[in-house]
Amino acid sequence: MQNFDEYIIQGEPSQKEKAQIWQTAIGLQDVDGLKVSDYLIETAKENIEGKITIAEVKYRVDNYYKQSENRQTIENRTDEADKVSANIAEILSEKTFSFSPAEIANQTVKPRRTIENNVKKLKELQIITRIGSDKTGEWKVVEKI
Nearest residue to 88 (alpha-carbon basis) of 122, 132, 123, 135: 122
What is the reported pLDDT for 43?
96
Q: For the whole prediction, is pTM greater than 0.85?
A: no
- What is the arithmetic mean of pLDDT over 103-123? 77
The pLDDT, as a whole number, for residue 114 is: 82
What proportion of the chain, given as a percentage, has pLDDT over 90? 21
Confidence bin at 2 (pLDDT 50/70/90): low
| pLDDT at residue 145 in the model | 42
Higher pLDDT residue, 143 or 93?
Answer: 93
Cβ neighbours of 105 (radius 10 Å): 16
Average pLDDT on 19-36 reads 87
Interval 73-108: pLDDT, tens: 555 678 888 988 898 888 888 766 666 666 766 766
pLDDT tens for residues 31-59? 878 889 999 999 999 999 999 999 999 99
Mean pLDDT, the chain, rounded, equals 81
> What is the DSSP track for 85-134?
HHHHHHHHHSSEE---HHHHHHHSSS-HHHHHHHHHHHHHTTSEEEES-T
Say if residues 35 and 80 touch (Cβ distance below 8 Å).
no
